[in-house]
Structure 1
Amino acid sequence: MSIYGDLGNTRTLASRLRWHGYTPVVHDHHPGEPWPEEAHLLLGGGGQDSGQARVQDDLGTHADRLRALAEDGVPMLMICGMYQLFGQAFTTVEGQRLPGLGILDVTTTGGSTRMIGPVVLDTAVGQVVGYENHSGSTVLGQGQEPFGQVRVGQGNNGSDGTEGARTGNVIGSYLHGPILPANPALADYLLEAAATRATGGWEPGEPDDALADQARRRQVLRLMSQGRQVSRVRQLLRR
């Protein structure tokens, strides 16, 4: 599933891996096709409810292997629809319940109102920017670590200030954009974990991330400034 440009995450990781001096091998997995013999990093994208229903059976076929890889520390980035299916369950707006893999302790319920707009997060790899577009409202289980804390945007459900979920090296998030071109530090976090697993170490190059970092910082400043202005207006209106 990749209807919001999430394929850009795969292309970003492949390019950055070359810039770091490694040779990427990319496998595109489709429902019903065999699994590659080795997998050092897994990516999944967003899709409509109908798309999630179509990939559910295939995920069930590979569920035990996916859980084992997650427990073994394989880095994974699951966006939007795949984030939901890596949770405990996703209930569509029509009431259909799709059981998830349970790798992330989250539960999602479809709604009639979409959460759309730019997002700024505080995360373990620094500030992350992206764009959310989802109608699913996700709740974290007790003890489940979020991917980030929302500074701008709505996040998992628009109310608890969390966005995404993270267990070990598995990250689930609603951020499109796609997320990785705008956040090189997050991309390299995933690559370091994958390269260490594949080769026993990580010997990074020196890619020029000046433009990406500048764009991210400017977006953070712009969105945070707008947020403060909106908050000030609301305070004045309450008086």
Structure 2
Amino acid sequence: MSTSGLRLVWVYPDLLSTYGDQGNVLVVERRAQQRGLRVERVDVRSDQPLPTSGDIYLIGGGEDRPQRLAAERLLRDGGLTRAVENGAIIFSVCAGYQIIGHEFINDLGERQQGLGLLDVISERGTGARCVGDVLGDIDPQLGLPQLTGFENHQGITRIGPAARPLAQVRLGNGNGTGDGTEGAWNGTVFGTYMHGPVLARNPQIADLLVKLTLDVNALPPVDDRWYEALRTERIAAATAPA
């Protein structure tokens, strides 16, 4: 963490910010401020250089063409890769999740190089689009409660040996591979298909990002009543009889 406080970087909001994903940076910002941390938020558009001195980088979802443009510009820029080499944390959603992997299928139907920051490969699914609520059990190594979120994607993402599934789904499709996995993570790099925005529905994940930045095992408690009410509502709606 920089001497000026926690530095959050919202990556390319002009290209990657669908389904309320900007809410993720708002939640991390608020959760950190509630613990008395000074927070500097930096929104970086796709025509601007990406700073390498951020603590947490958040990347949202986007349509196919913006995803291709974002990947091309992030590769040329190189800042996100350098930030990870400096120990930064990445939390990416949907298109952002595919971009930080090795490759994905772009809007032209071509294989496109990703950043290679997470050992995953994405391709275009041939079946029905994955749309709806998801519930899953987060990797026990992370020590977090059940994952809740909303998915809307055609992509299929396969996890390589250098990454672990973020969660095992109980409801929904997740990575779309049929193996019950959702998302992936390794060290300080996280990817998920969950919208919602996912950190509003899972504030403990936001807290995990802050703890990793501070290198601490726990944070002071805060008032979670609003978040828990939202979690309870969405989980109940997802599991209600049709």
TM bin (shorter chain): 0.7 to 0.9
Counterpart of 2:89 in structure 1 is 75
Q: What is the aligned counterpart of 1:102 among 116, 120, 131?
A: 116
How far apart are the structure 2 equivalents of 1:219 and 1:26? 28
Please state if 1:188 is matched with 2:207: yes
Q: How many percent identity over aligned positions?
A: 34
- Return the structure number with greater strand share: 2
Q: Distance in 2 between matches of 1:82 and 1:205?
A: 30
TM-score by length of 2: 0.83
Moved over 6 A (4+): none
For the residues of structure 2 that align with 1:133 and 1:34, how far apart are their CA atoms?
30
- 1:127 matches 2:141: no
Deviations 1:71-128, CA, capped at 9 Å, x for gaps = 4442210000010010110013652111001111111112353100001111132211
Match of 2:75 in 1: 60
* Counterpart amino acid of residue 91 in structure 1: I
Consecutive unaligned residues of structure 2, counting only runs of 5 or more, are 1-15
- Of the three residues 32, 36, 47, the one matched with 1:17 is 32
Of 165, 174, 180 in structure 1, the residue corresponding to residue 193 of structure 2 is 174
TM-score of the two chains, using structure 1 as the length reference: 0.84
If each structure's helix is expressed as a fraction of its own residues, which one has the higher value? 1
**Separation in 1, partners of 2:119, 2:218:** 33
CA deviation profile, 1:112-168 (whole Å, cap 9, x unmatched): 531000011111322110000001111112352011111111000151100011010
Assess, with a 3 A threshold, how the Cα gap between structure 1 residues 225 and 180 changes in structure 2: closer, same or farther. same
> What root-mean-square deviation, in Å, do the aligned CA atoms of Structure 1 and Structure 2 show?
2.2
Contact 1:116 1:132 survives alignment (8 Å) = yes
Length, aligned pairs only: 222
What residue in structure 2 maps to residue 233 of structure 1? none
Residue 12 of structure 2: aligned partner: none
Quote the residue 1:146 is aligned against. 165
Q: Secondary structure at the match of 2:223?
A: coil
- Contact 1:155–1:161 (CA<8 Å) still a contact in 2? yes
C-alpha distance in structure 2 between counterparts of 1:66 and 1:223, whole Å = 35
Structure 1, unaligned stretches of length 5 or more? 231-239
Larger radius of gyration: 1
Query: Does the 8 Å contact 1:74/1:193 carry over to 2?
Result: no
